[in-house]
Structure 1
Amino acid sequence: MDLLRELSMGEIVSRLAAAILYAGIQGLLLAGIARLLGDQRPSHDGRLTANPFVHLSVWGAAMAALFGVSWIRTIWFDAKANRLGRWGIVVVVGLGLAAMVAVVPLLDLLRAPALLLPRTGGYAALYLLGQLQAVAIASTALNVLPIPGLIGGSLLQAIWPGPERRLRRLEPFGLALVIVAIVAGWVPNLATTLLPWLQWR
């Protein structure tokens, strides 16, 4: 709770903006990889888009604003349509998270153009880029966990493909557990540890 007292309104707003951008990138990556492997369900569900509001989780955005870590709305896959079957979902989840990690250093390429903006806008853009990198890497580390509601929880669709309704019912409980763990400080934010290894500057 001490962390919340130290947050400024500017930091909360920039983290929220970073969470929105993160949702668009991560959601598009997962849906795109699934489509490449023949699974059209994310496309039919409207998830093959960079529109962040299609992928945004309200609770994930709130956690990003307050604690710098987030998640997206669950993307549902069709193992039968995937060329690799159930293993295809494992590949989509693994590649989707790995691709998000690869995006983090690429964001450094936007720093030079940001410096061409007027001073106030340039500083704001640079700060937002830093927040996006921090939220992205912390969120990727969190989403490795195989908990319903997180990206890693999609692995349950491969292990337990039949009863989708049961998995949907488990989501609120999984996310409630994650939220309690984040607020209680049981889940560390790994951005400060991992980010220096991924930035080019």
Structure 2
Amino acid sequence: MLNLTLWDLLIRLGAYLLVGAIAGILSQLVLRAFGGKTTSESGGPGFACFDIVGMVFALLFKQGWGRGPQPEPGGLRGGRIGVIAWVVLTLGLTLGALALLPYANRPIASFGNNIVTQAALSVLGAASDLGVWFVIVSLLPIPPLMGGNILLALFPGLRATARKLYLPGTALVALLVGFGIVQAVLEPVWVMLRGWIAL
């Protein structure tokens, strides 16, 4: 059963925005480290990973995803291997950043027991849970997800049609999440990664 109280929706929204910002900033930093840059359609730094449909599903099902920024073809060191390394490293660093979030609990709690403090602590807790799903779903090799860049690196002939795959790809991911297929298949991965970042 969906938990759709206003408080829960606001906490999930805050968690999605935090995770999306972390992933977006890290994707841009790693991309620059590989000597690449994104195409003009990807949005600005830090906003490239936000996806409105992914955000809505994060609010409803606690399983959101991010849109994959599109690097300019041939612009990364290492070519296709560089693209794959960029995606894996970005999502791995995002998990690492999520593992650091609990260290912010004590400083935030020092502000006292008020609604703002409780909201901030709740957002940090939700970001860890939602963030692991964000990484897992975003890694699926479906455009427009970040994992879609891996698919395009392995099959560069699809690059010309990648823009046309945005809506069908988004619809496919929405169906996989909405019907619980992602959770049924990938929950063991979520449990393992969630346990790792909780150490």
Shorter-chain TM-score: which interval?
A: 0.7 to 0.9
> Tell me, what secondary structure is at the counterpart of 1:119?
coil
Shift of 1:65: 0.6
Check 1:160–1:82 CA distance in 2 against 1; reply closer, same or farther (3 A cut). Answer: same
Which moves more between the two structures, 99-108 or 66-75? 66-75
The CA distance in 1 between the partners of 2:94 and 2:58, in whole Å, is: 16
Q: Which residue in 1 is equivalent to 2:56?
A: 62
> Tell me, what secondary structure is at the counterpart of 1:156?
helix
Check 1:46–1:71 CA distance in 2 against 1; reply closer, same or farther (3 A cut). Answer: same
Q: Is the 8 A contact 2:36 2:71 kept in 1?
A: yes
Q: How many residues align?
A: 194
**1:159-189 CA-partner distances (Å, limit 9, x unpaired):** 2335534111112111101111211111117
Structure 2 residues without counterparts, runs of 5 or longer: none
Q: Confirm whether residue 177 of structure 1 aligns to residue 176 of structure 2.
A: no
Q: Confirm whether residue 105 of structure 1 aligns to residue 102 of structure 2.
A: no
| Equivalent position to 2:33, from 32, 36, 43 | 36
The CA distance in 2 between the partners of 1:182 and 1:163, in whole Å, is: 24
Shift of 1:88: 0.5
User: How high is the sequence identity, in percent, across the aligned residues?
Assistant: 28
Check 1:41–1:181 CA distance in 2 against 1; reply closer, same or farther (3 A cut). Answer: closer
Q: Which residue in 1 is equivalent to 2:9?
A: 12
Structure 1 segments (4+ residues) deviating >4 Å: 42-46
Q: Letter of the 2:124 partner, please give it.
A: L
Q: Is the 8 A contact 2:49 2:66 kept in 1?
A: yes
CA root-mean-square deviation: 2.1
Q: Confirm whether residue 136 of structure 1 aligns to residue 135 of structure 2.
A: no
Q: Letter of the 1:195 partner, please give it.
A: R
The CA distance in 1 between the partners of 2:28 and 2:40, in whole Å, is: 7
Q: Which residue in 1 is equivalent to 2:197?
A: 198
> Tell me, what secondary structure is at the counterpart of 2:181?
coil
Q: TM-score, normalised by structure 2?
A: 0.87
Q: Which residue in 2 is equivalent to 1:24?
A: 21
The CA distance in 2 between the partners of 1:42 and 1:148, in whole Å, is: 15
Q: Is the 8 A contact 1:35 1:42 kept in 2?
A: no
Q: Is the 8 A contact 1:71 1:143 kept in 2?
A: yes
The CA distance in 2 between the partners of 1:146 and 1:13, in whole Å, is: 30
Which moves more between the two structures, 38-47 or 87-96? 38-47
Map 1:159-174 → 2, pairs under 5 A: 159-161=154-156, 164-174=159-169
Q: Letter of the 1:117 partner, please give it.
A: F
> Tell me, what secondary structure is at the counterpart of 1:153?
helix
Shift of 1:44: 9.5
Shift of 1:140: 0.8
Check 1:141–1:55 CA distance in 2 against 1; reply closer, same or farther (3 A cut). Answer: closer
The CA distance in 1 between the partners of 2:107 and 2:40, in whole Å, is: 33
Shift of 1:143: 1.7
